[in-house]
């Protein structure tokens, strides 16, 4: 595929389609209020009257201001230019993206909403907003998971059933930082059952704005945004993956697929090795598993690639890491419009020549086409 847009020119040899499996919108509270169900009018007024709803309703916090991210987040999370479908599609053209799976930004802090009714109402409002503003134009290149409130799995299941058949809905998004209890707990079974019945993968996206003092982050002692952001994404993913595997979620839901987003790839081989080791040492504690944890990961779990990290000096190291992970489990992601995004060539240029064409095509788009049923 050759792209020429907005002054950019590049060639992705042997790649038929580029699927961005983790891009973002920057929704604001004001935008969500416009889409709240009339039945939630009382909650809408409470949220509208809050002096600082991103902190008073959600609990968004950072140790220090996220300096390089401020422009991307706007006034906390609102009013970024990619808040329109036209801007998002222009962004896709600039970077040669054939499909874009959009995820929330403020919604990644949904688990911090203390009032369960408010969490449900905000999730429903977000889904109505994203579908109306970005997905429902019929072009089919902008896609979304349905956002669900982990505080209320029964209501989450209803939301999944309600939205699963909508064009452009390709998964179920669980904001995964600060989940109490962790995602292996049977508390979430109604949510997993609904996702499995509707043939939608469950997606776990961490977020630094949702850290506070909930395990595994315990961010109270991180004095800088740099410390916080460096650790929260991989630590969240490692904990959630461990919880789900040792509590036998993939065994209890044999037809369900799982997607982990925005934690990069370097943590995955280490976690696979460590989980296998502890399964073999302490198998009496995890009787629900029928095979090694790594086997479930290889068969049913997928991971988006961003952030790749600094790979300029030794691109072959990234290719070797992908071999250790298993390229069939990885899917390209950009994280656009956030400033630490990875354009497609950032990944492609570092793996071509080190991986065969089939593996490269899979990572750049073919695996996502299968996971999200885009064909």
Looking only at the bridges linking them, the beta strands covering 142-147 and 169-175 are parallel
Check whether the bond before 336 is cis (ω within 30° of 0): no
4 — pLDDT class (breaks 50, 70, 90)? very low
Q: What is the pLDDT of residue 11?
A: 65
- If one counts every other C-beta atom within 10 angstroms of the C-beta of residue 4, the result is 10
214 vs 348, residue with greater confidence: 348
| Residue pLDDT, tens place only, 145-158 | 999 999 999 999 99
- What does the pLDDT average to over 130-134? 97
Q: What is the pLDDT of residue 282?
A: 96
- Has residue 12 got a pLDDT over 90? no
Element (H, E) at 91: helix 85-94
217 — pLDDT class (breaks 50, 70, 90)? low
| Residue pLDDT, tens place only, 191-209 | 999 999 999 999 999 988 7
Q: What is the pLDDT of residue 213?
A: 57
* Mean confidence (pLDDT) of the chain: 89
- Has residue 122 got a pLDDT over 50? yes
- Has residue 99 got a pLDDT over 60? yes
Q: Facing residues of 258 across strands? A: 202, 301
Nearest to 17 by CA among 362, 373, 302: 362
| Residue pLDDT, tens place only, 41-81 | 999 999 999 999 988 999 887 777 765 555 544 443 344 44
Q: 15-371 belongs to which CATH class?
A: alpha beta
Q: Which residues contact 371 (CB under 8 A, 6 or more apart)?
A: 201, 257, 259, 302, 331
CB 14 within 8 A of CB 357: yes
- Has residue 329 got a pLDDT over 60? yes
Phi first, then psi, for residue 187 (nearest 5°) are: -50, -40
345 — pLDDT class (breaks 50, 70, 90)? very high
- If one counts every other C-beta atom within 10 angstroms of the C-beta of residue 235, the result is 19
- What does the pLDDT average to over 310-315? 79
Paired tokens of 9? 């020119």
Q: Which residues contact 16 (CB under 8 A, 6 or more apart)?
A: 1, 361, 365, 366
Q: What is the pLDDT of residue 216?
A: 61
- Has residue 375 got a pLDDT over 90? no
219 — pLDDT class (breaks 50, 70, 90)? low
Rg from Cα positions in the chain: 20
Q: What is the pLDDT of residue 5?
A: 44
- If one counts every other C-beta atom within 10 angstroms of the C-beta of residue 76, the result is 19
- Assign residue 322 a region: left if phi > 0, alpha if psi is -120 to 50, beta otherwise? alpha
- What does the pLDDT average to over 28-32? 94
- Has residue 214 got a pLDDT over 80? no
Q: How far apart are CA 181 and CA 174, in angstroms?
A: 13
- Has residue 10 got a pLDDT over 80? no
Task: Please tell me whether residue 135 adopts helix, strand or coil conformation.
Answer: helix
- What does the pLDDT average to over 19-37? 95
Q: How far apart are CA 195 and CA 367, in angstroms?
A: 19
| Residue pLDDT, tens place only, 240-291 | 999 999 999 999 999 999 999 999 999 999 999 999 999 999 999 999 999 9
CB 238 within 8 A of CB 286: no
- Has residue 103 got a pLDDT over 50? yes
CB 194 within 8 A of CB 156: yes
């Amino acid at each position: 595929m050759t792209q020429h847009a907005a002054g950019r020119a590049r060639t992705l040899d042997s790649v038929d389609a580029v699927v961005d499996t983790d891009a973002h919108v920057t929704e604001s509270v004001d935008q969500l209020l416009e889409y709240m169900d009339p039945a939630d009018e009382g909650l809408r007024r409470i949220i509208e009257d809050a002096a600082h709803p991103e902190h008073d309703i959600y609990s968004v916090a950072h140790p220090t201001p996220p300096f390089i991210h401020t422009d991307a987040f706007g006034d906390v999370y609102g009013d970024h230019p990619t808040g329109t479908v036209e801007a998002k599609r222009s962004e896709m053209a600039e970077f040669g993206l054939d499909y874009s799976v959009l995820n929330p930004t403020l919604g990644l802090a949904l688990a911090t909403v203390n009032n369960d009714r408010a969490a449900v109402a905000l999730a429903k409002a977000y889904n109505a907003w994203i579908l109306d503003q970005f997905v429902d134009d019929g072009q089919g290149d902008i896609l979304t998971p349905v956002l669900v409130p982990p505080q209320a799995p029964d209501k989450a299941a209803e939301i999944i059933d309600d939205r699963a058949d909508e064009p452009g809905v390709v998964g179920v998004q669980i904001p995964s930082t600060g989940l109490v209890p962790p995602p292996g707990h049977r508390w979430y079974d109604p949510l997993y059952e609904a996702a499995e019945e509707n043939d939608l993968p469950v997606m776990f996206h961490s977020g630094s704005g949702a850290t506070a003092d909930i395990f595994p982050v315990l961010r109270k002692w991180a004095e800088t945004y740099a410390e916080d952001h460096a650790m929260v994404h991989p630590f969240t993913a490692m904990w959630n993956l461990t919880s789900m595997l040792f509590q036998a979620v993939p065994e209890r839901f044999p037809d369900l697929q799982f997607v982990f987003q925005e934690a990069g790839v370097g943590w995955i081989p280490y976690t696979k090795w460590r989980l296998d080791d502890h399964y073999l040492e302490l198998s009496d504690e995890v009787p629900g598993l029928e095979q090694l944890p790594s086997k479930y990961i290889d068969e049913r779990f997928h991971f988006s690639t961003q952030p790749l990290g600094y790979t300029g000096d030794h691109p072959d190291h990234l290719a070797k890491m992908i071999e250790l992970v298993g390229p069939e489990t990885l899917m390209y992601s950009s994280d656009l419009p956030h400033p630490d995004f990875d354009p497609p060539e950032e990944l492609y240029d570092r793996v071509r020549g080190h991986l065969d064409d089939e593996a490269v095509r899979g990572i750049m788009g073919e695996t996502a086409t299968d996971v999200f049923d885009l064909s």
